[in-house]
Amino acid sequence: MNDRLCFADPGEAADLAAFLGRLVHYDRAAAVRLQGAPTAPKAAGEGGGALAVFGRPPSFEVLAVRTVRLATPVGSPLDVTVSAGELLEAVDEGAARAVVPGAVTGPPWTGVLPPRGGWRQVPGLPGAEEVRAAVTAAVAEFRARDEALPAQHRTRSERDRIGREIWSRTLPCTELPLRAVHAAQSLGFLPPARSAPPGASCPVALFASGGWLRLSTPYGSVATRNPGVRGGLGALQVRPV
């Protein structure tokens, strides 16, 4: 694999590196699936399309998607699973470039991705501040319940049970599990308001397609199966690597 990626600017390279770094923080053996396609020639200054980077942080049970703008399109269709750590090492932020590392045998999730199209916006999602507040409250509840456990019950299985109960709840007025919002915040897709430039905002939107829900922000997306849709594989798409 000798594909070279030329990012639109150093900021795009830095954002990708930050995303990869967070995935590796949660799982040193993390893998990511890359998808990019050649685009038709563009006028000067229009850029070279985008690269989609899919990852799955453990315990959150969601797929994280980071889209990176390219300065020049990939030379041939790119669809490969690689080590997140190796790709992170290959990113040259200053030069806004990266060399795609060799392919690896991906975990099962890499063969099952959200659908490409058919997404419709779902109304009722609270604003970014309310979404952040919901995560903060859930984290505080988990810590309080964990601290209240008797010493003999403070086991991994009991903590996992409490976590499943809390993070399986849905965000008010939606069917989106709180674990998806928690993942978005943990991966930097939902940054604190104080970290944004003056006057900037972090709009959030919820989309649905078949059996999937997707929380979208300007910094990335988190996709998860819709607990309100039952039966079959729904809109799951199995794509060869």
Judge if 134 and 206 occupy the same domain. Answer: yes
In a domain, 82, yes or no: yes
Host domain of residue 96: 4-113
Q: Per the structure, how many domains does the chain have?
A: 2
Judge if 105 and 132 occupy the same domain. Answer: no
pLDDT digits (tens, 9 = 90+) for 180-206: 999 999 999 987 765 555 555 678 999
CA gap 205, 224 in Å, rounded = 14
pLDDT digits (tens, 9 = 90+) for 151-163: 888 899 999 999 9
Judge if 63 and 138 occupy the same domain. Answer: no
CA gap 131, 173 in Å, rounded = 11
CA gap 7, 36 in Å, rounded = 12
Which pLDDT value is given to residue 193? 65
CA gap 208, 210 in Å, rounded = 7
**How many Cβ atoms are within 10 Å of 67's Cβ, its own excluded?**
14
Judge if 125 and 228 occupy the same domain. Answer: yes
Give the SS3 label for residue 80.
Answer: strand
Last residue of a domain, one of 70, 94, 113: 113
Judge if 127 and 47 occupy the same domain. Answer: no
- Please state whether 221 falls in left (phi above 0), alpha (psi between -120 and 50) or beta: beta
CA gap 26, 64 in Å, rounded = 13
Question: pLDDT above 90 covers what percent of the chain?
Answer: 70
Judge if 171 and 230 occupy the same domain. Answer: yes
In a domain, 241, yes or no: no
Last residue of a domain, one of 81, 113, 145: 113
Query: What is the residue type of 108?
Result: P
Judge if 101 and 137 occupy the same domain. Answer: no
In a domain, 240, yes or no: no
Q: Taking 50 as the threshold, does the pLDDT of residue 238 lie above it?
A: no
Of 36-40, 72-76, 102-106, 193-197, which gets the smallest average pLDDT? 193-197
Judge if 125 and 226 occupy the same domain. Answer: yes
Give backbone dihedrals phi and psi of 123, rounded to 5 degrees, phi first.
-75, 165
Bigger pLDDT: 112 vs 92? 92
Query: What is the residue type of 189?
Result: F
Give backbone dihedrals phi and psi of 142, rounded to 5 degrees, phi first.
-60, -45
Judge if 135 and 218 occupy the same domain. Answer: yes
219, 67 contact by CB (below 8 A): no
Which pLDDT value is given to residue 39? 60
Residue with tokens 């078949």: 210
Mean pLDDT of 44-57: 81
Judge if 95 and 174 occupy the same domain. Answer: no
Terminal-to-terminal C-alpha distance of the chain: 13
What average pLDDT does the structure give for the chain? 87
Last residue of a domain, one of 83, 113, 143: 113
Give the pLDDT band (50/70/90) at residue 166: very high
Q: Taking 60 as the threshold, does the pLDDT of residue 169 lie above it?
A: yes
Q: Which of 163, 164, 156 is nearest to 142 (CA)?
A: 163
